[in-house]
Amino acid sequence: MPATAIITGASSGIGFELAKVFAQEGYDLIITARRKERLKNLQTEIENDYNVKVHVIPLDITKEDNACRLLDYTEKNNLNITALVNNAGVGDYGSFHTSEWIRQSQIIELNIKALTHLTHLFLPALMKNERSYILNVASTAAFQPGPLMSVYYASKHYVLAFSEAIADELQGYRVTVTALCPGPTESEFQKVANMQTSKLIDRFPLATSHKVAEYGYKAMKKGKRVAVYGFYNKLLLKTIGLFPRSFVTAAVRKIKERK
């Protein structure tokens, strides 16, 4: 029975590239996002380029019934799920007190609740395999507070802490958990989060989604718990602890302010 990977948020950015990397490595795929046409185009591209099967399931995973539908689909089709990639995420830019609550709620629902729910749903199946993987896409934002993106940064801290905790719980089982932590990356994220005019986009080089996806896949296969992409990001995160937290918070705000 072929190994199958579930990838959320596969219609663009890192998720889109992760789908191609997993396919190149021989995985069948379940790709999900809300944009059906983009998923169908990705399905055609992958099935034409690689000898794998791609299942397209367009849905909003923040709705609990839809997450359960995803599990039901795998069981009814007798799919061997050996990797769960929780990539779907959303952000917002601006002061918390002037933000729209619906947007902040969406961040919490998608970045935290949906990721946790899918992990809880699929862990029993993953634990039955000889070797299985969970790859949770966090961010370098997980390591410090984020003024002007407060809820997004907090949500990514949750992803990191949750991933490390269950990785420890799963010692002795055949499932590894990796938190992938890229820095600023070329994707639709900046546009969706309304960050185009942030100094961050000018001052820090943007990694390509493909390079981040390749790095994340390799780190997952090695069983790394925390995988920070890029030398500069690794160096920056090592130095954060040397400064007072108030200084770090102020510095993050400074680089995030509008040009």
Number of structural domains in the chain:
1
Cα–Cα distance measured from residue 54 to residue 106, given in angstroms and rounded to the nearest whole number: 28
Q: Which of 35, 38, 34, 40 is nearest to 60 (CA)?
A: 34
As a whole number of angstroms, the distance between CA 147 and CA 58 comes to 33
Residue 251 has a pLDDT of: 79
Pairing of strands 3-8, 175-181: unpaired
User: Which structural domain range is residue 144 located in?
Assistant: 3-256
Report the pLDDT value the prediction gives residue 85, as an integer from 0 to 100: 98
User: What pLDDT, on a 0 to 100 scale, did the predictor assign at position 74?
Assistant: 96
Stated pTM of the model: 0.90
Active site residue 93: no
Residue 242 sits in a domain whose CATH number is 3.40.50.720
Cross-strand partners of 113:
none
Residue spans of alpha helices (H) in the chain: 13-24, 36-49, 64-76, 101-107, 115-126, 150-169, 189-192, 199-203, 209-222, 231-240, 245-256
Options 27, 93, 133, 152, the catalytic residue: 152
- Which residues sit opposite 177 in a β-bridge? 134
DSSP 69: H
Long-range contacts of 246-252 (CB under 8 A, 24+ apart): 248/144, 248/145, 249/144, 249/145, 249/147, 252/144, 252/145, 252/146, 252/147
Question: What is the pLDDT tens value at each position of the chain, 259 positions in all?
Answer: 789 999 999 999 999 999 999 999 999 999 999 999 999 999 999 999 999 999 999 999 999 899 999 999 999 999 999 999 999 999 999 999 999 999 999 999 999 999 999 999 999 999 999 999 999 999 999 999 999 999 999 999 999 999 999 999 999 899 999 999 999 988 656 555 455 555 555 556 788 999 999 999 999 999 999 999 988 889 888 888 777 788 778 878 888 776 6
